[in-house]
Structure 1
Amino acid sequence: MDRQQLSAIAHLDHPIAAPVSPANLDRLLRRAALPEGARVLDLGCGEAEWSLRALELVPSATADGVDISPHALASAGRGAAARGLSGRLSLHLTPAGEFSAPEPYDLVLCLGATHAFGDLGDTLNAVAGFVRPGGLALVGEAFWERPPTPELTETIGDYSDLPGTVDTAESKGWLTVYAHTSTLPEWDDYEWSWTGTLNRWATDHPGPDGDQALALAREHRDLWLRGYRGVLGFVSLLLRRV
């Protein structure tokens, strides 16, 4: 099994592919105050839960979801069909950095997928090309709640602290109009779902695939519980182009 397929399995019980609760996802999208007929772009959409909820909140809106995982997009398609939203969600199997669109968007989403462009600054430069004048971006990025060990930085990445993350976003020509900093309970729910869903799937699928899923769940849980729990944060920034 490839990593994309394992990731799709891990997110089955938590399709919001970030440590954000459904209530806070709703709060962020409502703050965006999307107009009638809004166009939404979801870069690195995964299961497209953010886009699907935006379409439910604004019945005249349409959305494009972009991802490199066929497994995640298949899940997004099933979710759209189950919620009667298939006609308003277009899914694109392509790298986020290679996607192009003929018209700008009212809201561009990129939650936990800034690596697709390089880093947060690169992401915001790219997103600027998709947002209409006066439009918004909702970008989710990790940051260090407290100083990590050198080993953790080497394993996970070289992030900034929260003030530095906001400074980076605003240095690229954006203003923060709202934000949500994920809580420890949100992180725990996300991580227990991620690892637990893989474990349950593995017990239902004994054999090489199940063993691979178990190994990944154990590796991930160990890194979380013994490494970044309470150290790594996540912020969802609602940004407006200056």
Structure 2
Amino acid sequence: MDRRQLSTLAHQNHPVAAPLSDTTVQRILERALPRGDERLLDLGCGEGEWLVRALSGRPETQGEGVDLSPSALAKAREASAAASLGDRLVLHERDAAQFTARHGFDLVLCVGSTHALGGLLPALGAAREHLAADGCALVGEGFWETEPTPAALAALDASPEEFDDLATTVDRVTAAGWTPVYGHVSTAGEWDDYEWSWTGSLSRWALDHPGDPGSTAAHEAAAAHRDGWLRGYRGVLGFVTLLLRRTPEA
């Protein structure tokens, strides 16, 4: 069982795939889509949960998603059909870094998938290329809540330089020519719900499919992830979601 299959199973009860509650996601989208007729783009859209939520209840909005995973895009198409979005949602199977469009977008999202574009600043650079005038970027990125411990780094397979603290993360964003117009720092409760959902969904699948060749791998992956979270990065790794506009040039 590869990482994409594990991720799909682990996120089946938390499809946003980030430590954000449903209420938080709704509030962020209300701030990001004030008119209700915007065109949006999700770079690294996965199973399309952000796009489906953004377009549902906003019949004048249109969205496009880009991802390399055929299985994730198949799930996104199923979700789009279930939400009766019709041709308002277009999905592209390609590298988000290589994606081009003939028009600009009012909102470009990259929440929890900046790694697909090489990190936070490259993701913002890609967003800038796709934005229409006065458009916004919505990014979600990790940061160190506290100094990372060896246990946290081992659990995340990360280096201390992989993330900054929150203030430095925002400083990097503003230095790159962006102004935050809204933001949300994931709470401890949101993190716990995300991690319990991740490990619990995977464990439940393994227990329900004892004869499946992937059952043992799923069970072991869930146990290792849970241990790494509880004994490693819980309370150490944070997550911030920023709604940004381009800063006018002086």
User: Displacement of 1:63 after TM fit?
Assistant: 0.5
Task: State the match for 1:234 in structure 2.
Answer: 239
Count of residue pairs the alignment pairs up: 242
Letter in 2 for 1:215: E
1:85-109 residue CA offsets vs partner (Å, 9 max, x unmatched): 1421111111211111111100000
Distance 1:93 1:151 in 2: 36
Report matched runs for 1:169-180 at 5 Å. 169-180=173-184
User: Displacement of 1:52 after TM fit?
Assistant: 1.0
User: Displacement of 1:36 after TM fit?
Assistant: 4.5
Distance 1:120 1:178 in 2: 17
Distance 2:132 2:151 in 1: 41
TM-score when normalising by structure 1:
0.96
Letter in 2 for 1:17: A
Greater Cα offset, 140-149 or 201-210: 201-210
Structure 2 unaligned spans of 5+: none
Percent identity reads 53
Distance 1:153 1:128 in 2: 31
Task: State the match for 1:140 in structure 2.
Answer: 140
Task: State the match for 1:8 in structure 2.
Answer: 8
Candidates 198, 202, 225, aligned match of 2:230:
225
Q: In the alignment, does 2:206 pair up with 1:215? A: no
Q: Is the 8 A contact 1:34 1:58 kept in 2?
A: no
Q: Give the root-mean-square deviation of aligned CA atoms.
A: 1.4
User: Displacement of 1:57 after TM fit?
Assistant: 4.1
Secondary structure, aligned partner of 2:101: coil
Letter in 2 for 1:143: F
Q: Is the 8 A contact 1:120 1:168 kept in 2?
A: no
Task: State the match for 2:207 in structure 1.
Answer: 203
Q: Is the 8 A contact 2:151 2:232 kept in 1?
A: no
Distance 1:57 1:142 in 2: 30
Greater Cα offset, 29-38 or 149-158: 149-158
Distance 2:24 2:53 in 1: 12
Distance 2:34 2:48 in 1: 17
TM-score when normalising by structure 2:
0.93
User: Displacement of 1:150 after TM fit?
Assistant: 3.9
Task: State the match for 2:35 in structure 1.
Answer: 35
Task: State the match for 2:61 in structure 1.
Answer: 61
Structure 1 unaligned spans of 5+: none
